[in-house]
Amino acid sequence: MDAISVIRAKRDGGRLTDGQIDWIIDAYTRGEVADEQMSALAMAIFLNGMDRAEIARWTAAMIASGERMDFAALPRRTADKHSTGGVGDKITLPLAPLVAACGAAVPQLSGRGLGHTGGTLDKLESIPGWRALLSNEEMMRVLGDVGSVICAAGDGLAPADKKLYALRDVTGTVESIPLIASSIMSKKIAEGTGALVLDVKVGSGAFMKDLAAARELAATMVGLGTDHGVRTVALLTDMSTPLGRTAGNALEVRESVEVLAGGGPADVVELTLALAREMLDAAGLPDADPARALADGSAMDHWRRMISAQGGDPDAPLPVAREQHVVTAPASGVLTALDAYAVGVAAWRLGAGRARKEDPVQAGAGVELHAKPGDTVTAGEPLLTLHTDTPEKFDYALAALDGAVEVAAPGTDFTPSPIVLDRIG
């Protein structure tokens, strides 16, 4: 085999054989195929696509590049959730302990934010002492003791994907459905969970901007999970407006704790419960009641135990940004749009996110929303509060919000989009 023949096959619209896929993934992981050659192949895949059999084999080859975890020794059935990324998407934080409180085990391997989308690990690291990096032995111990763990994936899981993911980010091939699907599912299947629920975001703040593309991605991932023996279901959920009322690391942790305490924004609670019910059903616990676990405090108890088990102090004060800037409503009436992408970029520019994987983040930076679409607002009253330790970034963040807000005349009949748009599985 050689890289040029594989590149040419896909460049010319052909399908790759199993042997070609196995060889190119293995050779790239070992460094025998250069980055520029894999970049050319990624672009050929972006332009010409892959059929289901190709995607399944590509995914299997990436899984085979590393280790597979095994949770068979746990007394509970495992279920995991993956979100394709959005703005204000703090759902993993209340969801993992909630599902654990209902009887399943949740081995949640999460990532960091890049660009306008936030990262679960960045959020949790705003809790003093909390550790994202656990050994496999530590992860199993926390799962056994608490029932849920949220941590970084080890280097041994799908190492081919780690190399290819970084390459896609700098070559304009991130949005390829075969490459997105195989990237997500190779890690989740290698993780070893028995059931997987996918939260596929749709809208301005998501990678998938329209429902048709999101549905195709969801169906592809559900097919991959099913083909590899993992019970998989996907919910398509709205990301035209930020989830909840915060976008930023410590801000989102604070809001997640409010949900676990029985409060919090209605949209966050609704989506958390919807995903929890799907995870519990997939794990063979369809009669469990996650709403009761929120109400009776058992989900909060599991949250505190999970944070403590990873070195965090659940009672410690969360970081607060040194500077705030209030954005007021431009007119009186009904708020009809608050663009998720614009809010995500503003939070990123304030210091909540990073442009490169190596960049630091500010724990207290972000955007706080005082109204959501459908609410009545008054001209001159607070609409958003920007938080940062570096006030020189306010103008840069405000530029991102230009045109993000739409206010209709008082009394306008407006119904926000539902949170859950569709289900595939």
Q: Beta 106-110 vs 376-377: how paired, if at all?
A: unpaired
Eight-state DSSP code of residue 114 = B
Q: What are phi and psi of 236, to 5 degrees?
A: -95, 125
Beta bridge partners of 338: 405
Q: What are phi and psi of 350, to 5 degrees?
A: -75, -15
Query: Which residues contact residue 217 at a Cβ distance below 8 angstroms, ignoring those fewer than 6 apart?
Result: 84, 177, 180, 181, 200, 208
Q: Where are the beta strands (DSSP E) in 154-277?
A: 195-202, 231-238, 246-248
Q: What angle do CA 350, 154, 91 make, to 5 degrees?
A: 45
How far is Cα 121 from Cα 140, in angstroms, rounded to an integer?
18
Q: Would you state the structure tokens that stand for residue 399, as one six-digit string?
A: 């530029």
Query: Which residues contact residue 160 at a Cβ distance below 8 angstroms, ignoring those fewer than 6 apart?
Result: 25, 26, 28, 29, 61, 62, 65, 66, 186
Active site residues: 82, 161, 168, 183, 187
